[in-house]
Amino acid sequence: MSTTGIFAVATPTSVDDKERVGEARAVRVPRQRRWWLLVLSFALILASVGATFGLVSAAWDREPILQLVRDVPWGQRIRDTDVTTVELPTDARKFGVADVDRGLVVGQTAAVPLQAGQLVALSDVTAQLVPARGQRVIGIRLLPGRYPARGLAPSDPVEVVGLSSSGVTETVPGEAVFQARVVAMSPPDTEGAVVVDLLIDTSAADAAHAAAAGGALVTLLGPAR
């Protein structure tokens, strides 16, 4: 590299010097910012926040659902005092009736035996009264040994065999036998006898009246219908 005078300007005198000067004078190309990556990252953050907010909102979004406070036997009407409300997630509507639809439950008849603490579903109630048209409810007193030891529960299907005053089957068994459905059973009296309310078809009224007057033997047919 050579210089001339006090204020001489250095000039490259060799190939290496020229290469270094060329590199120094080379224009630096600015790096391109990838804006699409920033936009994509921001969109993913928003989506994640939205999904989290939706899950939290669903978990905390609750409404009052109807719940029984006492047992309601099959065939009995559900009163307003029989139900209360419990705050549950809105998905609980799959299993119970919301309080806003209370009118669909209160005043209806229990289609199955209902227990305190359970949610009330529309399938648990019916508009059909007990007894319905063409049916009757009759009470028959049963002495110990003439009904199952387990007792009889509402909705149990039973077969009733009428007995004579001497305690034996009537002369014509076919006419003294009929099927019924238990509505209610009283506690045992001092003799251990109970009174069972039975739901019968009107066609079995004569046999039922005879059984109520002369006594009967009741057998359980199977699981409740």
Q: Give the domain ranges of the chain.
A: 34-129, 135-220
Cβ atoms of 160 and 198 closer than 8 Å: yes
What predicted TM-score, i.e. pTM, was given to this entire model? 0.59
* Domain 34-129 top-level CATH class: alpha beta
139 strand-pairing partners? 197
What pLDDT, on the 0 to 100 scale, is given for residue 133?
87
pLDDT along the chain (225 residues), means of 10: 50 54 53 64 73 61 90 91 91 89 92 91 89 91 92 92 65 70 92 93 92 91 67
Do 34-129 and 135-220 fold alike per CATH?
A: no
* Domain 135-220 top-level CATH class: mainly beta
What pLDDT, on the 0 to 100 scale, is given for residue 178?
94
What pLDDT, on the 0 to 100 scale, is given for residue 57?
56
What pLDDT, on the 0 to 100 scale, is given for residue 91?
83
How many CA atoms, within 13 angstroms, populate the side-chain half-sphere of residue 123?
4
What pLDDT, on the 0 to 100 scale, is given for residue 51?
66
